[in-house]
Structure formats: structure tokens, C-alpha cells
Amino acid sequence: MKADNGHHDTHYYNALTRRMIGIIIVVSITPMLLVAGVIYSQFHDSYKEKVYAHLGELVLKHRQNIDNFLTEKLNNIRFMAEALDVEELNNERVLREKLKILQEEYGTVFEDLGFVNHEGLQVAYAGSLKLENARYSGAEWFLKALENEYYISDVFMGLRGFPHFIVTVRGGTDEEPWVLRATINFMAFNALVQKIRIGKTGFAFILNRQGQYQTEPAFDALPSIQQYSEYFLTRNPSSHSNVRIMEKEDSAGRVNLYVGALLKGGDWLMVYQQHSEDAYADLQHAQKIIILILLVGIIGIVTMSVLLSGRMVSRMSFIDREKEMMNQQVIETGKLASVGQLAAGIAHEINNPVAIMVEEAGWIQDLLEEEEFAAGKNLEEFQRALLQIGTQGRRCKEITHKLLSFARKTDSRIHDVRVNEMIDELVELSAQRARYAGVEIITRFQKDLPLLKVSETEFQQVMLNLINNALDAMEKKGGLLKISTSLEGEEMVIEVADNGPGIPKSNLARIFDPFFTTKPVGKGTGLGLSICYGIVKKMGGEVDVKSVMDHGTTFHIRLPVIQD
């Protein structure tokens, strides 16, 4: 029963602890996660917006630069075509002069100049290569140049065998058009785009409509060209002033940020590409900090909730136990009180018949004094018997008196208690039991002890308990029970010492625990000593025990003496 109870209690308190931990954790962590989540998502969105805006602006600016570069070079050639007539353009010396002026102004951007007649024959040439009389009639750029008044070609290898592109201006009549062309140094152009580098992985390049590189990308083009050209083709040329930003996973499984803008009248696409994680490096840093803070917070909350709940529940279980003890004490005191009342009733009822019996015996004694009986041969025997009735009647009287004084004291109000007298009374009440157990009770009282201000009932209960426990312990072999009182300073010390078998050391620490008992089931509640302990504590006193195996056990009760 007791073990079941204990098990049930442990289970209950464990469940309670778990519930409390759960509630504290949920209540504390949920708002923390929510706040962190909202803040992070806000930050994430605005940061992404900022990155987009920044990259968009960057690409637009460079697109503008490149467009300007191309327009400028075209204008140079246009100006030349307009300023010179056909004879001058056909003159290599003039062309060399013009090239020299251009190179002086723009460095090596202009590689060469050429004048091509309607048949595709370069009739005049100025430049470092030997391209005089080169035939371009089949070249793609020449066909395009004839179609358009101005033309800027894609990058191509051409006759010279390394990448370049050309700028052309068409002149002459419709029947006999001519073309003035200039070669733009690829390296110079390429540098314009290649200098766009951001972070570790951000770079830019230009593609034509066929998806061919017009500049050399800083990194190997990991992604398939396909996705650019698709993107490129789906663009509405009228919206070419806008940039388009997207994030896509490449074939290597990395998410990239792509910023695209059309240039050269929609012929070319400038693409800026960067790994997303590189672009959002700061965001990831912030994310790490938030996760760290959350982690520390969660660990703190969990630790606190475990510690706090554990402490609270252990406190609660302590209070529950105390309450249970108090309840038991109230029940025990109540039992004692009702037993007392019952005893008082019985004592009263017995008093009258006993009084009558004793008096009737006395009456017979009175009558025996008369002469007619004086000679009776059994007179002495009669008188002895009557005396005996008187003696036994008086004994009954004493018993009922004791019962009545015991009953009168069954309340927990504070009285002035004469300790020695009360112990004497209790010893007398226990005398019968002691005789059966073969125990001799010796009292050694200090005289003139001050009055003790305690509840008589409770004090009786404590003393009776100790006496009964001692008698129980010595029941088998008999022994000696010494009860002594003394005054030590402001404390009254009551010692109850038996010479019984003693209490094993392992049990000694637990004897004041509620429900601890070594008696067989049904014999003891295990509450006696714990109630004693509670009562003595309530009186402001101390109780302790010393025990030596095979030599006996001694209880000391120390109670404060309150002087008026």
C-alpha cells in the first residue's frame, strides 16, 4: 500500500514536472521564435530588395557605359565618313593619318581602318596587318554593313584569327555603295566588362542573340548558354531599358543570381552573374547570429525551466507531505479526543454503581458491629471480605479518576503543564502493559521544574508514543525504561531511554519520516514518531535519537521554557 502510494506519487510529480517544463518552454520559446522569424523575414526581404536594386543599378550603369563606348566609336567613324570624300577615303595615306589621330586620342582601341568598295574588296587599308585588297564580299558583316547605314558587328575571328569586332558606315550611292570600317580592339572592349567584379563570384559578360560570348567571362561559363538565350529571346526589345533579375539553380546545383540588360539596340545581352550565397553573404551572417542567439536563448530557457520546475515540484511535494502529516496528526488527535470522551462517559457511569457497592459493603460492616453478629464464627472472614470490597472499590475509583483526567486534557489548547506529574500519570497508565512486557519503568525527575506552556494532549501524545515504542521494542526480552527530566538553561530536557535491541543505523535517519515503520503490516501506521516530531517542532523544541545496537535507544526532547 505504502509502496504503491509512493510509486503513484513519484509518477504524479514527474508528470507535473514534465508538464511545467513543457508549458514554460512553449510559452517562452514560441514568442521568441515568432519575433525572430518576423524580424529575420523583414530583414531578409529588405536586404534582398537592396541587393536587387544595387545590382540592377550597377548593370544599368555599365550597360550605359558600354553603349556609350560603342556609340562613341561609331560616331568617330561616321564623322570621318562624312568629313572625307570618296577619293580621300580611298587614299591609304589619308586613312593612316586618320588612324594615327584616332590612336593618339583613344589608344589602341582602334586597330585599323579600311575602305571597302561595293564588290567587297578592301581598296584602302591602314593598320598593322597586311589586309590590302582583302575580299569581304562573302563575309557576314559586309552583307549586314550594306544593309544598314551603321553597323556594329558581333565579335568574330575573321581573317586575322583572333577575336575582334568592327564598326562600319555605309556611303556612296545605292548602285555603288562603299563601306568604311574600323576594327575595335577586343581587349579594350573586354576590359570594360571584365572590370565588373563584385564579391568572390560576381562577374559580367555579354552574349549575342546566338548565345555566343561577346566578352571573355571571368570564370568558365558553368551554366548552359541555353538559359541565357531563352531569357534573351523572351525579352521584349522595347523594354530593353529595364533590367531583369532572377535567381535560378544552375546545372551544378548552385543557386545563382542573374541580372540581365539588353544593349546595342537589343542585339546583345549583358549578364551579371553571382552565386546567391555570395550576394547575400551579409544576410547569411545575420542569419547565423540570429540562430546563435536563438540557440543560446533556447538553452537558457530549457535549463531554467528544468531547474525551476524541479525546484517548484519538490517544494510542492514537500508541502503536500507536510499537509498529509498534519492531516494525520489532526486525525490522531481527534481519535485520542473521542477515545477520551468515551472513557469519560464510561467512567461516570461506572462511578455510581461502584460507589453504591462500596457503601453497601460499608453498611454491612456497620451492621456487623451489632451484638447478634459479634459471636458469629465467620465474623472475621466477613470483615476481611468487606475490607477487600472497599479496597477494590477504591481501586476502581482511582482508575476512573485517571481516565477522567486524561479525557479532560484531550484538547490542543495551551495550558500550564506540570511535566513530572503528567509523566507520572502516563507511567501509571502504561504500568499494566509494562508488567506484561516485563519492563520496569524508572522515573528520575528534577524537582521544582517550571511549568511548561504546551498543549497537554499533544504533550501526552508525544510521551505516550515514546513510552509505547520503548515497550514495543522490549516486549520480547523485557528490560528497563528510564524517564528523566531536567532543566538545562532555558530548556527542559526529557529523556526516554530503554535498553532494548536498538535501532539499526540504516533506519535511524528515517525513523521520523512519515509512514516509515518496521512493524508488520497493520500493526503500525509509521506516523507515531513523525507526529511526535511535528508536535515538538510546533512547540519550538527539538527531538533527537541515539541508538546503539543491543544496548538500547535514547530519545531526547528539548523544549523551551517560557517564563512569564
Partner 1 sequence: MASEESIRLLMVDDEEGYVNVIANRLARRGIDVTRTYSGSEAIQTLRGEEFDVALLDLKMEDMDGLEVLKVFKLMAPELQVVMITGHGSEEAAREGIAEGAFDYLTKPCELSELVEKIREAAAARKKMEP
Chain positions contacting partner 1, by CB under 8 A: 344, 347-348, 351-352, 354-356, 358-360, 362-363, 366, 393, 397, 400-401, 404-405, 407-408
Element (H, E) at 258: strand 255-263
Nearer to partner 1, 357 or 464 (CB): 357
Backbone angles phi, psi at 64, to 5 degrees: -60, -45
Nearer to partner 1, 286 or 343 (CB): 343
Q: Which of 505, 491, 513 is nearest to 561 (CA)?
A: 491
Nearer to partner 1, 135 or 408 (CB): 408
Distance CA 234, CA 228 (A): 10
Least gap, CB of 344 to partner 1 (angstroms): 7
Nearer to partner 1, 393 or 500 (CB): 393
Distance CA 209, CA 189 (A): 18
Nearer to partner 1, 324 or 411 (CB): 411
Least gap, CB of 404 to partner 1 (angstroms): 4
β-pair partners for 557: 494, 543
> Could you tell me the CA-to-CA distances from 409 to 170, 329, 347, 451 in Å, in that order?
134, 17, 15, 16
Residue whose C-alpha cell reads 568604311 in the numeric block: 180
Nearer to partner 1, 347 or 470 (CB): 347
Least gap, CB of 396 to partner 1 (angstroms): 9
Q: What angle is formed at CA 37 by the lines to CA 33 and CA 41, rounded to 5 degrees?
A: 175
Element (H, E) at 166: strand 164-172
> Could you tell me the CA-to-CA distances from 402 to 66, 374, 396 in Å, in that order?
122, 39, 10
Q: What angle is formed at CA 238 by the lines to CA 234 and CA 243, rounded to 5 degrees?
A: 70
Distance of CA 287 to the CA centre of its chain: 20
What is the per-residue burial (b if ≥16 Cβ within 10 Å, else e) of 66-104?
A: bbebbeebbebbbebbeebeeebbebbebbbebbeebee
Least gap, CB of 451 to partner 1 (angstroms): 19
> Could you tell me the CA-to-CA distances from 357 to 245, 385, 388 in Å, in that order?
122, 13, 12
Least gap, CB of 410 to partner 1 (angstroms): 12
Contact 485, 423 (CB under 8 A): yes
Q: How many distinct helices (H) and strands (E) make up the chain?
A: 14, 17
* Joined grid coordinates for residue 428: 501509571
Least gap, CB of 346 to partner 1 (angstroms): 12
Contact 477, 453 (CB under 8 A): no
Nearer to partner 1, 352 or 563 (CB): 352
Q: Which of 198, 134, 119, 202 is nearest to 166 (CA)?
A: 134
Q: What angle is formed at CA 376 by the lines to CA 375 and CA 382, rounded to 5 degrees?
A: 130
Nearer to partner 1, 230 or 359 (CB): 359
Nearer to partner 1, 283 or 407 (CB): 407
Distance of CA 382 to the CA centre of its chain: 94
Nearer to partner 1, 50 or 348 (CB): 348
Least gap, CB of 366 to partner 1 (angstroms): 5
Least gap, CB of 499 to partner 1 (angstroms): 36
Nearer to partner 1, 358 or 470 (CB): 358
* Joined grid coordinates for residue 400: 476512573
Determine the residue type at 468: N
Contact 124, 89 (CB under 8 A): yes
Distance CA 321, CA 332 (A): 16
Least gap, CB of 402 to partner 1 (angstroms): 9
Nearer to partner 1, 271 or 347 (CB): 347
Least gap, CB of 373 to partner 1 (angstroms): 14
> Could you tell me the CA-to-CA distances from 418 to 97, 126, 353, 448, 492 in Å, in that order?
139, 138, 32, 10, 12
> Could you tell me the CA-to-CA distances from 509 to 156, 402, 528 in Å, in that order?
100, 36, 15
Nearer to partner 1, 272 or 406 (CB): 406
